[in-house]
Amino acid sequence: MRQAGSPTVRRRRLASELRRLRERAQLTLEEAGGRLGWSATKLSRIETSRVGVVPKDVGRLLDLYGIDGFKREELLKLTRDARKRGWWQAYSDLSGEYAAYIGLEAEAASMHSFAPVVIPGLLQTEDYARAVIRAGLVVSPSGEVGRRVEIRMARQAVLSRDDPLRLWVVLDEAVVHRAIGGPVVMRSQLERLLEGAHSPHVTLQVLPFSAGAHSGTSGAFEILRFPEPADPDVVFLENLTDSLYVERETDVYRYTVAFDHLRAQALGPDESRSLIAEAVGRFG
């Protein structure tokens, strides 16, 4: 069952509330920080959820903004909840960006994913994941591949919880044909993909080569949506060395339109399953 807000999502919600209250008080970052003896950078990092914040500091901010009563207690409770640990934080050396992503994924109600290179992690088999991760880690400490595979497999629990994540994936056809890990691993992976495609909360489409140029030519992306209206959609982008979260409403809308175009150009779910089933035979 989904937690009542993952720590990452709670911290993001708190940051948004604190930013809104400062703006309502008509204070700039410099003015608000100056009154508390803080730098504008510190306050900016709090308001963009780059760092966590302790209840004492939130209390000082609420005093400055004139917030009391129920609203004050609500925000202080949110602060305390945001400091709780998610399961992924047991991996002490997990990067901040990856931990943040797992936190968002754990709380998301739905995800739209465009995958032009590899099958999304939530649908990967252990052997396929190991091959993908090993290829991406040109230099890594001993045991790092196994640790990342373990985390990736644990993340898949979002698809089997009581209220499963609703996942809609558009795969480029190249993903179905790329023999990652060898024929045996790939055959098993495609069979796992077909199994997932029959789940009522998973929609899988293949974008065929015949589609030509399309709205996803800039690369992979994921759109995460959350159950609470207070938590706006976020787009996740990743490259070899960094990750990026797109949160500005106009930018998220552009990615949403791009995904709508991709699924309109892609094969329907039944045709997509047939194409994948044919590929299974070729890896026999």
The CATH number assigned to the domain holding 247 equals: 3.30.870
Q: Do 97 and 71 share a structural domain?
A: no
Q: How many domains does the chain have?
A: 2
Q: Do 107 and 39 share a structural domain?
A: no
Does residue 194 belong to any structural domain of this protein? yes
d(CA 21, CA 63): 11
Q: Do 143 and 40 share a structural domain?
A: no
Q: Do 135 and 226 share a structural domain?
A: yes
Q: Where are the alpha helices (DSSP H) in the chain?
A: 7-24, 29-36, 40-47, 55-65, 69-82, 96-107, 126-136, 144-155, 173-177, 183-197, 249-265, 269-282
Does residue 76 belong to any structural domain of this protein? yes
Q: Do 109 and 24 share a structural domain?
A: no
Q: Please report, for the domain that includes residue 33, its CATH number.
A: 1.10.260.40
Inter-residue contact 250 to 259 (CB < 8 Å)? no
Does residue 172 belong to any structural domain of this protein? yes
Does residue 107 belong to any structural domain of this protein? yes
Does residue 1 belong to any structural domain of this protein? no
Q: Do 185 and 54 share a structural domain?
A: no
Two tokens at 177?
A: 């044909």
Q: Do 30 and 64 share a structural domain?
A: yes
Per-residue pLDDT, 7: 56
Q: Do 218 and 109 share a structural domain?
A: yes
Q: Do 31 and 144 share a structural domain?
A: no
Does residue 237 belong to any structural domain of this protein? yes
For range 119-129, the mean pLDDT: 97
pTM of structure: 0.78
**What is the distance, to the nearest Å, from the Cα of residue 104 to the centroid of all Cα atoms in its chain?**
5
User: End of a domain among 82, 110, 129?
Assistant: 82
User: End of a domain among 82, 104, 138?
Assistant: 82
Per-residue pLDDT, 107: 85
d(CA 214, CA 56): 50
Q: Do 273 and 170 share a structural domain?
A: yes
d(CA 114, CA 129): 17
- Considering only CA atoms, which of 88, 122, 108, 93 is closest in space to residue 193? 122
Q: Do 98 and 68 share a structural domain?
A: no
Per-residue pLDDT, 41: 93
**Residue the block writes with tokens 């990092």:** 45
Does the pLDDT value for residue 51 go beyond 90?
no
Does residue 106 belong to any structural domain of this protein? yes
Two tokens at 45?
A: 């990092």
Helix (H, G, I), strand (E, B) or coil at 230: coil
Per-residue pLDDT, 27: 93
Domain of 273?
92-282
Cα within 13 Å of Cα(136), Cβ side:
18
| Least confident stretch, 4-8, 55-59, 67-71, 132-136 | 4-8
Phi and psi based region of residue 203 (left: phi greater than 0; alpha: psi -120 to 50; beta: remaining)? beta
Q: How many residues are given for the chain?
A: 284
User: End of a domain among 30, 63, 82?
Assistant: 82
pLDDT band per the 50, 70, 90 thresholds, residue 30? very high
- Considering only CA atoms, which of 85, 152, 92, 158 is closest in space to residue 118? 152
Q: Do 104 and 77 share a structural domain?
A: no
Does residue 87 belong to any structural domain of this protein? no
